[in-house]
């Protein structure tokens, strides 16, 4: 027989205990560069800066770059009415060992 509670916990007592079960909102700070609210110790998603350095590209920048790339390829490539044939997929990669002896590469040996 498993362990049993000594006394019944009433509905109110259980609910009172569970009243404190809730998530907390993240504490936000202001970006030093663009003053947008952001998570502390994270790069700003608005401007991509962490402190004084630009560390990530923002969503807008990547979108612009993607659009530019698309437009470039559209201008340079032939009309895309003909479907491209799919390349045969390689199932495994060969590891280039020194001198390409074809020997198996073991890393767990010491
Ligand atoms: Zn910012």
Q: How far is the CA of 52 from the centre of ligand 1 (A)?
A: 10
Q: Give residue-wise pLDDT tens across range 92-106.
A: 766 665 565 555 556
On whether residue 99 sits in a domain, the answer given is no
Residue 32 in domain: yes
103 forms beta bridges with none
Query: Count of domains in the chain?
Result: 1
Question: Would 69 be classed as within a structural domain?
Answer: yes
Ligand 1 mean position, distance from CA 24 (Å): 24
- Give Cα 77 to chain centroid, integer Å: 32
Which domain, by its residues, includes 61? 27-75
Asked if residue 85 belongs to a domain, the reply is no
Q: Please report the pLDDT score of residue 11 as a whole number.
A: 97
The answer to whether residue 64 sits within a structural domain is: yes
Tokens at 48, concatenated:
């991509």
Q: Backbone dihedral region of 100: left (phi > 0), alpha (psi from -120 to 50 degrees) or beta?
A: left
Domain assignment of residue 42, yes or no: yes
For the whole prediction, is pTM greater than 0.85?
Answer: no
Q: Coil, helix or strand for 71?
A: helix
Residue 94 maps to a domain: no
pLDDT at 104: 57
């Amino acid at each position: 027989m498993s362990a049993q509670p000594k006394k019944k916990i009433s509905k109110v007592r259980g609910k009172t205990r569970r009243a404190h079960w809730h998530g907390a909102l993240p504490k936000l700070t202001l970006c030093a560069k663009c003053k947008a609210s952001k998570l502390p110790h994270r790069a700003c998603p608005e401007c991509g800066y962490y402190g004084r350095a630009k560390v990530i590209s923002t969503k807008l920048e990547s979108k612009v770059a993607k659009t530019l790339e698309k437009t470039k390829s559209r201008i340079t490539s032939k009309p895309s009415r003909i479907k491209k044939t799919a390349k045969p997929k390689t199932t495994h990669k060969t590891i280039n060992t020194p001198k390409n002896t074809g020997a198996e590469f073991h890393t767990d040996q010491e």
